[in-house]
Amino acid sequence: MESQPTMLPPFETCTYTDFSDPDHAAAFEQALAKMRAQLGRTYPLVIAGEEIALETTFASINPSNLDEVIGHFADGTVEHGEAALQAAWDAFPDWAGRTPEDRAGVLMRAAALMRAERHLFSAAMVLEVGKTWPEADADTAEAIDFLEFYAREGVRWAKPQETTEYPGETNVVRYVPLGAGVAIPPWNFPVAIAAGMATAPIAAGNTMVLKPAEQSPLTSWLVFDLLRRAGLPKGVLNFVTCSDGAVVGGHLVQHPRTRFISFTGSKAVGCWIFEEAGKVRPGQIWLKRVVAEMGGKDAVLVDRDANLEAAADGIVRGAFGFQGQKCSAGSRALIHADVYDEIVPLIVAKARAVTVGSPEVNGQGMGPVIEQEALDRVLRYIDYGKEEGTLLVGGEAAPGNGHFVQATVFGDCAPDSRVASEEIFGPILALVKVADYAAGVSVFNGTEYGLTGAYFGIENIERAKRELFCGNLYINRKCTGALVDVQPFGGFNMSGTDAKAGGREHLLQFLQGKSICERLLI
């Protein structure tokens, strides 16, 4: 296959699909039908390019229809994880030795394939994790952006870096890949994050083991298969599923030959990974790199001079997009006392208008939460909210053969109430009345997290930019929906390592600098 030219055109983000257009809606319906026709298949592990079928499998279930099996997936073991890591190391010398343009070419071909099959990837997410059409489309668009952007970044970082001139010597700094690592993506952005986690290290010349979340193995399979169809050599990316992520994932985190770990998920698991990766085990000759994104309790601060209609819209969209199952979800609204009584009815009306049901329906507002454990957790926090605040809308499970729950809003919440201070990962919004802007800042920052946040107002915009502590701050817009290389994504404190996925420094997580000095002989 031919390499991509050295000079790629400037990166541009992928536009979203307008499903109000009948042609686009019809195309998506066709993709849903095509993906539905593939349900129930059995999928193997893939190690060093070899497909490995196992007798022991686990099922991925449609959270909107609990009687529907998405697919059966091989239940990998520690031994399979061991073999996959070895395969990644075996493939590393050749892949690292290729030109950055060769590596970028694979990613660019993968991006082109994903553009052509865009709705199929989105349809898979509708069926496997319950994303609505727009949420799924945005996920796929972000995956395309990651592929295109990291391809370019791999070429850019491979170039010699400038240094200060010194008489009699030639000095250069080059960035070289680390080795073989592990990607542990989440189920909530199963195409975008899986694609980004796999391809950022690969673009930099590393090799990988991809261990998908057990709730979303099909979508990760589609990402893996896309890359091998695009020409990724055998062993550069190895695919290992398992019914209990701690089995294979935990083993690879602790393995002395794992060079780096890329993880998105809960704070508890992220902290465990960080701790275990910090232990130097027999035979280990490096300190492991860890890229971790671990969640948030994100807030929207509404000042007294805010556009209340825009603020209410941003609050509701940020809180209930994908059922609130985003680490960036704005699950707290901190509202200036002068406008609290005026904006609350606007929020309630917009939340009440959010429909709940099968995400296969075009225009559906919310689908299901991912699994029974998530539904139980959300209902438990609804009970807490009824004790701690005033139920304004929702507050119940929704009908259907799935994990459905209403968009729920609680008013008059104390800043330290459970619904206003703990990450729920579901469609619950807590409204907190604050005396003034300064009090709002105090509540906004009064959390162990620091991922995203938003400010609606005019007078205190510059102060908000300085004083609101989070990795992604949005002024007068919702706090979700970061775009690749537009809003590099990553948070502070217990939200993770702030590695800024989709940012121009992200590939440095998977590279090491080599300074080369050559004394000139006369």
**Catalytically active residues, by annotation:** 293, 327
**Contacting residues for 427 by C-beta, under 8 A, at least 6 apart:** 319, 320, 323, 324, 366, 369, 378, 394, 405, 406, 407, 408
Identity (one letter) of the amino acid at 437? Answer: Y
- φ/ψ (deg, to 5) at 80: -70, -40
Tokens of 275: 């701790």
Distance CA 225, CA 410 (A): 44
Residue 129, CA distances (Å) to 44, 57, 163 in order: 20, 19, 48
Q: Please choose, from the candidates 335, 293, 296, the residue with its C-alpha nearest in 3D space to the C-alpha of residue 315.
A: 335
117 CB-contact burial (10 Å; exposed 0-12 / middle 13-18 / buried 19+): middle
> What is the residue whose two structure tokens read 């029974």?
372
Residue 379, CA distances (Å) to 275, 316, 385, 427 in order: 32, 19, 10, 10
Q: Give the number of other Cβ atoms within 10 Å of residue 177's Cβ.
A: 26
Q: Which helix (H) or strand (E) holds 385?
A: helix 372-388
Tokens of 230: 């695009």
Q: Which helix (H) or strand (E) holds 289?
A: strand 289-293
- φ/ψ (deg, to 5) at 420: -100, -5
> What is the residue whose two structure tokens read 């952006």?
145
Residue 2, CA distances (Å) to 151, 169, 171, 199 in order: 15, 37, 32, 19
Q: Which helix (H) or strand (E) holds 71?
A: strand 69-74
- φ/ψ (deg, to 5) at 506: -60, -40
Q: Which helix (H) or strand (E) holds 262?
A: strand 260-264
DSSP reduced 3-state for 177: strand
Distance CA 77, CA 92 (A): 23
Q: Please choose, from the candidates 296, 209, 219, 225, the residue with its C-alpha nearest in 3D space to the C-alpha of residue 258.
A: 209
**Contacting residues for 384 by C-beta, under 8 A, at least 6 apart:** 417, 418, 419
DSSP reduced 3-state for 467: helix
Q: How far is CA 513 from the centre of its chain?
A: 27
> What is the residue whose two structure tokens read 């195409």?
191
